[in-house]
Structure 1
Amino acid sequence: MSRIFLVLLLCFVLSSVTFLSGCDVSAERELKRAEKALEAAMEVSADAHATEDYNSAEEYFQEAVELSNDNRVQEARAAAIKAKLKAEDARNKAEERMRILESEMDRLGR
C-alpha cells in the first residue's frame, strides 16, 4: 500500500514540476511584446499623430514595469497587455492619419 502511495506521490511531484517549469512566473514576455509594440508605434510617429493613445500606452507600460518590479506579476501582465493594445491602436491611427495626409497632399498637387 505504501509503495503505491509513493509511486503516486512521485508521479504527482514530477507532473507538477513539469507543469510549473512551463509557466512564466514573471511578466517578461508581455513586457517585451508591449515594448516592441511601442517601438513599432514610434516608427510611424504615433507620438505625434496619435498622441493620446501613444501616451496612454507609455503610461500602461511604465505601470507594468513598476508592478513587475514589485513582483505583482498578474497585475503587471494585465498592464503590459493594455500597453501593447494601446500601442497597436496608436500605430494604426498614426498610419491612417499619414495615409490621409499623403492623399490630401497628392490631391493638392504637392
Structure 2
Amino acid sequence: MMERVSFDDSMVAATNELIKKKESFEVTGCGGRLTEAATKVEQLIESQGLRCRIYTYGRVAAAGASFFGGITGVLGVASAVGMAAHNVATFNPDYEIAKHPIDNKLTVKYKKKK
C-alpha cells in the first residue's frame, strides 16, 4: 500500500522524505488545487536532482476513443501527437505524477529500480 500525504502546509517535509527514500506515494485532499499540488511535487522532486513526468490519468484512453469520426478524430490525433512529444521530452523519468481530477489526488510513482 502506498504512503498517503495530505496537500497542506505539512506536506513538504513528508514528501521530501519519501522522495529521498525513492518511495511511491499519493497526495490527497487537493480539492480544486490539483495543478498547484502537481507543480509543488514536481519542484520537490527536481530539487533533489531527479526528473519527473506529469500527466492526467485516463487521458490516453480519452484520446484513443476520439480517433473515430470528424473533428473529434482530428483532435484525438493532435492530442496523441502532443502526448508522444511530451513523453519524448520527459524520457526515462525517475517519477511519474498522475493527476486524478475525479478523486482530487495525485499518484506519484517511482519508476526506476532501487
Regarding TM over 0.5, the answer is no
Larger radius of gyration: 1
Q: Which is richer in strand? A: 2
- Under a length normalisation based on structure 1, what TM-score does the superposition of the two structures give? 0.35
